[in-house]
Structure 1
Amino acid sequence: MESYEKRIKVTKKDLDELNHVNNVRYVQWIQDISKEHWQTVAPDEMKAGILWVVKKHTIDYFSSAVEGDEILVRTFIANTKGAISVRCVEMYHHETNQLLVRSLTEWCLLNALTLKPIRISEAIKSIFVPD
Structure 2
Amino acid sequence: MSENIELFENYTAKTLGYLYSTFPIPSDFNFFDFIPKLEYSEFLTHQLNAYHTINYLKNNHFLDFESLDLEMGQVKNAILKPKALELLKQDGLGMQLKKALNAGRDELIRSVINKALEMSLKFMF
Q: TM-score, normalised by structure 2?
A: 0.29
Higher strand share: 1
Q: Decide which structure has the larger Cα Rg and report it.
A: 1
Higher helix share: 2
